[in-house]
A and B are shown apart, each in its own frame.
Chain A
Amino acid sequence: MTGQVIAFEGVDTDILSMQAENLAHLLKKKEGRSVITTREPTDGPLGAQLRLLLNGRIDMHQYASALLAVADRMDHYYGVKENDPNSILVDIQNSKYVLCVRYLLFAYANYSDIVPLEWLMRINIFIPWPDLVIFVDVPIDSVLTKIIKEHGYNEAEVRIKREELINLRTHYLYAINALRGEGRQIEIIESDSMDFIHRHCVKLVEQRLRLEQ
């Protein structure tokens, strides 16, 4: 039995992380298999640079940042040497579930309006498409309410944040549409209820990955 990769995608990473943790807990309990939760950009040296880029701390041309993201993903998937125990590849070989908060779909969503999709697909060719990709589509207003509660944004900041979230969601939907056209499977869960999303995730895992009840 080989391991499987499940990618959680969406506009809010906190929601995605929570869903990944909940699913990880359930999979461990039900199957007794090891589950790894991880994220992209990674916590490695290249991921750190990508985070600075996403936060606007460093400036980089979009072609370059698209490739930096590829490098971070290659590092994540293959590690620094053959049979690297810290790589997704070895985790899969060791029959583990790998739950990743943002992965390939985020890369396409983030860049597909500024660089050609065909090029993005070619440069990511050595990263296998995950066994299950779930786009968690929480209404933007619900996400904003949560963020305002956490960060106490003022009105202007909320406006900017709303615009950012709407843009990202639009890019996600564009990428989903384009990638489905290329034969990639992507599941969408639309809800603002965390319980509903979790139950739906479990159902998808059961259906798609044949988890035993």
Chain B
Amino acid sequence: MIPNASQGKLIVLEGLDGAGTTTQARLLAEVLRVEHNIRVWTTREPSEGPIGAQIRSILARRLSMGGNTLAALFTADRLDHLYSGGGVRERLNNGEWVIMDRYYLSSFAYQALSMSEDEKRWLFAMHQFCIQPDLTVFVDVEAKTSMTRIALNRGFHFELFETEDKLLAIREQYKKAITGLCKQGEVIHVISGEHPLKTVQKNILKRVKTRFLDGIYLASDEEQKILSRKEFRILRQRVEDELHLTFQGIIERSPSKNLADATQGNAGGSYSLEFFDENAIEYHVAAFLNRNRTRITSILAQTKAEGRERISDLQKICDSVFRYEYAEQPKLLGDKK
């Protein structure tokens, strides 16, 4: 997969049918547009393109196709969706955020279910030119919940993959695929979709904000700053220097704990956040910044009130923020003993 080097962010919502990803994609887009003034495009797979239309006929059992042929078709539709004019890449390059209702994780769960290891490698190879999402949120529901919701929504019109046994197996396959992709550097968060719609929305939003907005989005009343990757690296370095630790070290000490929830003081409602890589560390640092946002904002305001030179150098912000934090609250990270 190709990392997304564009200014826009690619966010993917995944889940079994009936997990509510379509509704959640719409809700998330609304919040990002209204509250954060971000240009957002929501889209879905199968796409509205010519291949997508054929896939829909296959899923509705109006057209027969072999399993591997369908897997190739899904990937073809995906690449068309990404690279055709007005598609995902073009919008990301224009700075738009793209929220996708399903992406390649679906293929690795649904199509890979009955594949041999060789076929899975083939499936993976077909995805070589896909753009890697900046964040994937898997909205996890039980197979039973999925079946109930499908029946309620569509009046017992079930598609190709929609039997309870199949959904049960697909859910397991999703989890395997998530573990595999996380090991390769993808950022995938699993949250429960069993809660009421608003709770799920809140949990998705929290992941998005922590990853893209709160953590690396510093704001006072009059000043806003979204940190670049380079700036972010300086921040991370600063945290590590000030606290005499490395985030990798922390992660390795308690790999089974839900670190993000621990550091953010969450009681639960979501689970299975796992950290494997640099992206996860970034997420962790973002969580730290999120918790200290009030202080960052107040320092920015104080500096301005005192008539000192406007802070343009991020290093100065880091110096102030982290010295302050270190003196005031030595145990900055919830799981650090």
Contact = CB atoms under 8 A, between A and B. Distances in A.
Tell whether A pairs with B: yes
Interface of A: 45-46, 49, 52, 58-61, 63-65, 67-68, 70-71, 74-75, 78-81, 84, 119, 122-123, 125-126
A70 B126 CA distance: 10
Contacts of A52: 50
Contacts of A45: 54, 63
B83 interface: yes
B72 A80 contact: no
A5 B151 CA distance: 47
Question: Could you tell me the dominant secondary structure of chain A's interface residues?
Answer: helix
A68 B84 CA distance: 14
A52 B76 CA distance: 16
Question: Could you tell me the dominant secondary structure of chain B's interface residues?
Answer: helix
Nearest to A71: B72
Contact of A126 (B63, B64, B79, B122): B122
19 contacts: A45-B54, A49-B51, A59-B84, A60-B49, A64-B51, A64-B77, A64-B79, A64-B84, A67-B73, A71-B76, A75-B66, A75-B69, A80-B66, A81-B64, A81-B66, A84-B66, A122-B126, A123-B125, A123-B126
A192 B82 CA distance: 44
Counting chain B CB atoms within 10 Å of each CB, which of A49, A67, A123 scores highest?
A67
Interface residues of B, number: 29
B65 interface: yes
A70 B84 CA distance: 19
A108 to B, nearest CB: 16
Contact of B72 (A61, A74, A119): A74
- In the A-B complex, list the 3 residue pairs whose CB atoms are closest, starting with the nearest: A64-B80, A67-B76, A71-B72
Contacts of B84: 59-61, 64
Interface string B41-69: 00000000111001000000001111011
A46 B125 contact: no
Contact of A71 (B69, B85, B119, B122): B69
B271 interface: no
Contact of B125 (A49, A74, A122): A122
A169 to B, nearest CB: 27
A60 to B, nearest CB: 5
A42 B120 CA distance: 26
B129 interface: yes
